[in-house]
Chain A
Amino acid sequence: MRWSGRVRYVFLLPAVIWVLAFTVFPLGYSLTLAFFKIESKMEVQREKVPVLDEDGNQVFTSTGRPRTRTIVHREQTTISTFVGSENFERLARDKQVWTAVRVTITFVLVAVPLQLLLGFALALLFNRHIFGRPVLRATMILPIFVTPIAAGYSFFTIFYEEGGPLGFLGIPFLSHPDWALISVILVDVWQWTPFCFLVFLAALQWVPDELYEAAVVDGATGWQVIREVLLPVLQPTIIIVLLLRLAEALKFFDIPFAMTGGGPGVATQSYSFLAFRTGMRFFDLGYASAMSYGLLVVVMVVVILCFKRLRESYA
């Protein structure tokens, strides 16, 4: 049966309202913010009124003076000034932004490949019959369920240099700029490698045994099986995992927020962290919106490139 006439629009309406309210409106509003400077001002007047009891009689203090209470009359006005592309021009000039971009790119280029490689290696290992596989597999994926903020705080105590469980190593996990970034990357790898592992394992289990058998009959080594058989077959899965991890990693925020506060200095201050601080700590909302749109553009480019590659792999 096909819906005809206007009734089908009625069924579409909730989804349309949802998208308009929670996607289009915030996007449009934040884009508007990026072109304005917003200031709030408040005019205040105070009025003293008598305090009355339940019967409407004036209440007095113990010294016999009539009690009063203050009512504050407020008028708040918000002034929006159009500033054109000023916020976007600031982005290009702002040293803090470029430092945050460098931190974010370093993080993405190290953490994401590590997660994919480790996840793939672990999936290969777990794709064969090993002792205690179900228990190990379940244990492996536990980090996914930890809130990143909680992971950040937990690893702050683990990496604590004076008396922490790894303190005996003498490594300045949190106090040296390079080590702090490495520590953040390690925690992210710990948390998200299991995700890559899980998806790769699922994909590997769909690879027909005949493919392995044919390769072995042809005399392929283990490495050749991986390179010539598995990687081409798993390419769409790899691209999807890469896409998801790249999009997430470009926005990384929670772990440095909890673990290092972005420091020492700005050594672990990511781009999202900087945008958050600009908007929510210093209320420079226009500039924070411009920053967010900068990130959105980058993420969109990454997504488009990944999808393009995905389409090619299916072609």
Chain B
Amino acid sequence: MPSKTRGTRLASTLLATSLLAAAPVAAGDFVDWNDDGTVTLKLGPTYDDTEITVQAADLGALFGPDEQPFEGEEISITVNAGGPKGGISGPLYAFRGPWQELTGATLNVIELPFAEHYTKMMLDLRNGTGQYDAFMVGAFWYGDIVPGGFAFPVDELMETGDFPRWSYDVMPESLHALHSWDGVGYGVLNDADGQVLYYRKSALEDPEHRAAFEAEYGYALPVPPTTWQQLLDVARYFSGKNWDANDAEADSGMVLHLKVGEQGHYHFQSLSASFAVTPGEAVDRYHNVYWFDPTDMTALINSPGHVRALEFLQELHLTGPSAQIGWSLGEAWDYFLRGKAVFVFSWGDVGSLCQDTARSRIKGDCAAAILPASTEYYDHETKQFVAVETPQPVGNTTGGSWHGVISNFSANPEATYSFLALMAMEPVSLWSSQNGWTGVDPGFSYQFLQPTGSATVEDYVRAGWDAEDVKTYTQAYYDNFYAPTSLTYLRIPGTFEYWDILDKNLSSAMSGEKTAQEALDDTAASWELVTDRLGRESQLEYYQAAIGYGD
């Protein structure tokens, strides 16, 4: 009897959910057309009855109080599984109601586990099934999507003025490049990924710790550390001490997310950039290159600079919990949010999650800065390490910058674009970046504080932020995305495979199965095989275009 009751309830819930998704929404449920020329988008009780106001004119010419331009159409968009309040997937659910009311169409959100999303997408595209209209992609998938002719360009749709307004102009050039290919726009603005350093300001500024650190290491504790070598000292100092009063247990220096098959390799990418990239005015054979030699596609991943960086990461790992070898993002972030580590370097989610007191104990004590730089880098030209007194930080766009790309097999590209464009409108995008659970990270001009951007501290405080936290957070991202030297982004055919090989070998090195040299030598050897298989000449062309070689 109880199981039958449960089963009936489950069936009713599923039926109700599917009807809710499919049924036409009543006018006014999610959208109010106001007399002052504005439109209120109402997200409903799941999202604390949030209301976002946009200008009616910015919604585009297709939309109006009596218009439902895509009535009866149905679109499906894939996204990394996370649920209605999960990273990247959450906003799709949040804006589904308003969009359905605005258009008369239906949106199906297709959640796929991170490890399977790429596979499902490529199966759909390679087989030409057309099951999905768009994909919330990581920018590193472009090399497999765009040259294959699978992506629908959005420039023309943007120019019509028919759809919700947004612009590539708000992006730093490094992010704009990730949304386009060969000068053509394919990606619709959503997320801006890059890793920055988060640190517990109160611990670093504590007079007792400062005195003890100076006595032990011979220099004043830097707030924040500006070199990786300083950071390692500080992490070592705090590791194993109970410097945080949240519990009676010992705390850590650095926490990392290192689980294989997930996003551990990004730590290495961001950290190693300042060890392995030879700074220079332009991208040439030796300068500003990281992945491959841009003249012949020889893998650079086992260069002495990369190896030294991995050895450094192994040292840094020892200042954190040993279990982090098997941790995904969530576990590592929660460890930091619970006050158990003095540092984490990760994406923008951490900064906004710090403000969520349901999950975080460190609101108001969650400062951020651009990643430190190494005091030595490897010069690919002279084949020697160069010591620098004041190292220049290297920016990064590490991660996926997850955003929508429309499938060329979509039967409704305009309707699909209208949804993605709605999520890209400035007020919507600003709201998303201010709420940590959305997984939407800042990087666009209206998300930075004045004078570098157009947002104000008050905007963020109204959204529940601590004023001090937001100042360092937005500045860290500004500094990162506008850094003079930046880690080039790999997005050539097979990037997912190249990174997967790197990920496996890094995990072997971090768990002690291989030395840093062995792991990166094995990576380089496997990369050579992949390059040969995919065609060295064509890979070279894609790579040169991706990093701006010869521009």
Binding site for B on A (CB under 8 A): 40-44, 61-63, 65, 67, 69-70, 72, 74, 76, 90, 94-96, 160-162, 172, 174-177, 260-267, 269, 277, 280-284
Contacts and interface: CB of A to CB of B under 8 A. Distances in A.
Interface in B501-551: 504-505, 507-514, 522, 525-526, 529, 533
A265 B504 contact: yes
Given A40-B126, A43-B149, A264-B510, A161 B504 contact: no
B128 A76 contact: yes
22 contacts: A42-B150, A62-B64, A63-B61, A72-B152, A90-B529, A95-B522, A161-B322, A172-B323, A175-B325, A175-B511, A260-B260, A263-B326, A264-B511, A265-B260, A265-B508, A265-B513, A265-B514, A267-B508, A267-B511, A281-B118, A282-B497, A282-B500
Nearest to A174: B326
Interface residues of B, number: 58
Contacts of B526: 95-96
A262 B505 CA distance: 12
Given A41-B149, A176-B511, 5 more contacts: A94-B529, A264-B326, A264-B510, A281-B496, A281-B497
Contacts of A263: 259-261, 325-326, 504, 507, 511
B414 A69 contact: yes
B508 A264 contact: yes
Contacts of A76: 128
B61 A65 contact: yes
Nearest to A167: B323
B497 to A, nearest CB: 5
B206 interface: no
A262 B504 CA distance: 9
A72 B406 CA distance: 12
A41 B148 CA distance: 6
Contact of A44 (B324, B408, B500): B408
A226 B305 CA distance: 63
B207 interface: no
Interface string B300-336: 0000000000000000000001111111000100010
Contact of B62 (A61, A94, A175, A282): A61
A18 to B, nearest CB: 25
Nearest to B335: A162
Given A42-B408, A63-B61, A177 B512 contact: yes
Contacts, number: 137
B150 A261 contact: no
B67 interface: yes
B161 interface: yes
A261 B262 contact: yes
Interface centre among A172, A175, A264, A281 (most CB of B within 10 A): A264
B8 interface: no
A283 B530 CA distance: 12
Interface string B269-286: 000000000000000000
> Which are the 9 A-B pairs with shortest beta-carbon distances?
A265-B508, A263-B260, A175-B325, A161-B323, A264-B511, A261-B261, A42-B149, A61-B61, A174-B326
B413 interface: yes
Nearest to A263: B260
A262 B511 contact: no
Contacts of B148: 40-42
Contacts of A172: 322-323, 325
Contacts of B431: none
B459 interface: no
Q: Is the interface of A mostly helix, strand, loop or mixed?
A: loop
B507 A281 contact: no
B321 A267 contact: no
A2 B410 CA distance: 58
A255 B501 CA distance: 21
B115 interface: yes
B539 to A, nearest CB: 14
Nearest to B118: A281
A174 B323 contact: yes
Given A61-B162, A74-B128, A95-B525, A264 B325 contact: yes
Contacts of B258: 264
B34 interface: no
B409 interface: yes
A72 B408 contact: yes
Given A74-B128, A95-B525, A264 B260 contact: yes
B12 interface: no
B126 A63 contact: no
B122 A283 contact: yes
Nearest to A287: B533
Contact of A262 (B150, B260, B335): B260
Contacts of A175: 322-326, 511
A2 B409 CA distance: 57
Nearest to B126: A40
A94 B532 CA distance: 14
Contacts of A267: 508, 511, 513
Nearest to B261: A261
B242 interface: no
Interface in B169-196: none
A186 B258 CA distance: 24
B82 to A, nearest CB: 17
B495 to A, nearest CB: 11
A91 to B, nearest CB: 12
A314 B311 CA distance: 60
B119 interface: yes
A264 B322 contact: no
Contacts of A40: 126, 148
A25 B504 CA distance: 35
Contact of A70 (B122, B409, B414, B512): B414
Nearest to A60: B61
Given A44-B149, A72-B413, A175-B325, A63 B161 contact: yes
B413 A70 contact: yes
A265 B119 contact: no
Nearest to A173: B326
A42 B127 CA distance: 11
A266 B126 contact: no
Interface centre among B61, B115, B161, B500 (most CB of A within 10 A): B61
A67 B322 contact: no
